[in-house]
Amino acid sequence: MNTDTPLNRALMRELTTDHASPLAESVSAMTEPAGPVSALGLGRGSPAVVRTRVHMCLCVSGALRWKDSRLAGLFTKEDGSECTGREAREYLKLQDYLGRRVIPVGDCDNFDYNTGCRGHPEQENNGDVPTRT
Tell me, what's the pLDDT at 67? 96
Q: How many domains does the chain have?
A: 1
Residue 123's domain spans which residues?
Answer: 6-132
User: What is the SS3 assignment for 13?
Assistant: helix
Tell me, what's the pLDDT at 94? 96
Please report which helix (H) or strand (E) contains residue 68, including its range.
helix 68-71
Tell me, what's the pLDDT at 45? 52
Asked, for residue 22, whether it belongs to a domain, the answer is yes
Asked, for residue 127, whether it belongs to a domain, the answer is yes
Q: For residue 37, which phi and psi values (nearest 5 degrees)?
A: -65, -40
* CA contacts within 13 A on the Cβ side of 64: 15
pLDDT tens-digit map of 113-124: 999 999 999 866
If we measure between CA atoms, which residue out of 32, 31, 49 comes closest to residue 131? 49
Query: Do 6 and 82 touch, CB atoms closer than 8 A?
Result: yes
pTM beyond 0.75, yes or no:
no
Asked, for residue 1, whether it belongs to a domain, the answer is no
Query: Do 77 and 86 touch, CB atoms closer than 8 A?
Result: no
Asked, for residue 96, whether it belongs to a domain, the answer is yes
Helix/strand number for the chain, H first, E second: 5, 9
- Taking all residues of the chain, what is their mean pLDDT, rounded to a whole number? 74
Asked, for residue 49, whether it belongs to a domain, the answer is yes
